[in-house]
A = this chain, B = another copy of it.
Amino acid sequence: MFVKNLFATNMFVTVDGMTGHSDTPRSDTPRSRRERPAKPALTRAGIIAAAVEIMRDEGLRRVTMRRLAEELDTGPASLYVYVRNTAELHAAILDELLGAVDLGPVRAEGDWRERLEAVLTSCVTVLLEYPGLAQSALVARPSGTHYLALIEALLALLDEGGVPAGQAAWGVDLLLQYATATAAEHAAGDRAADTRQEWDAFTRALRGVSGRTHPHIAALAGDLLSGPPPARLSWGFHMLINGISHTPRPETDASSEISPG
């Protein structure tokens, strides 16, 4: 951006965000620079906030170190003081967004299953708002406060329902995985005519299958694609809660631990 050089000398910036030359409006200033007379000091929180804003406006794909730096009137190198890499940035965005999940049902009245489903549905809804984020959420390992609060909420509800702790501990993984994957799928569908074609190809492949070679697909093709998404989602949650409740864990030596490798 052209404005960048106007601010290139950084000596005027102070902690409270005052610069020496907030004046001299220029007619050809790009809109994105409008209303931002002073360049605020970089902070991790500020960087993440800007990243969320870009994602909201332009999608996750545009949340790049360079685009973000541009938005913050600096060079990409500067961001690496606060963020280790792009993956960590995405994880931070994700945790930020998880703050919007409604955990109210945890302390509400009513059937624990319905409240559990409500929390999970809220989770999907939040993720669905930001195409692409859910996809990165599938591999990201956020460790922020909002993510922890979500896990705590799910465990509390399962506990209330009398689900054995061991099953709950392992089951939470599956519940979140399903919620995230569902959102990711729909987000992917959102993105473009591109993916629409991919999906069309898929449905065509399913329907075009020969009853001789693929009898079960042929018999069920309609069913494989059928059902309003909310009904499928709800069925999925019920199914998972049933499975988690009723499937005892195997006997293992208690303290072996998963490693990422």
Contacts and interface: CB of A to CB of B under 8 A. Distances in A.
Interface of A: 1, 84-85, 87-88, 91, 135, 138-144, 148-149, 151-152, 155-156, 159, 165-174, 177-178, 181, 184-186, 188-190, 194-199, 201-202, 204-206, 209, 213-217, 219-220, 222-229, 231-232, 234-236, 238-244, 246-247, 249-250, 252, 254-261
A170 B236 contact: yes
A175 to B, nearest CB: 11
Contacts of A238: 247
A72 B201 CA distance: 28
B165 A226 contact: no
A114 B23 CA distance: 61
Across chains A and B, which 6 residue pairs bring their CB atoms closest together, nearest first? A189-B260, A243-B243, A155-B216, A169-B223, A143-B205, A239-B243
A235 B236 CA distance: 17
Contacts of A254: 222, 226
A154 to B, nearest CB: 9
Contact of A235 (B181, B222, B249): B249
Contacts of A190: 260-261
A184 B138 contact: yes
A78 B143 CA distance: 44
Nearest to A149: B214
26 contacts: A88-B198, A135-B139, A139-B185, A141-B201, A143-B198, A143-B201, A144-B205, A148-B214, A151-B224, A152-B217, A165-B223, A166-B223, A170-B223, A170-B227, A170-B236, A171-B239, A174-B239, A174-B240, A190-B260, A227-B258, A229-B258, A235-B249, A235-B250, A239-B244, A240-B240, A241-B243
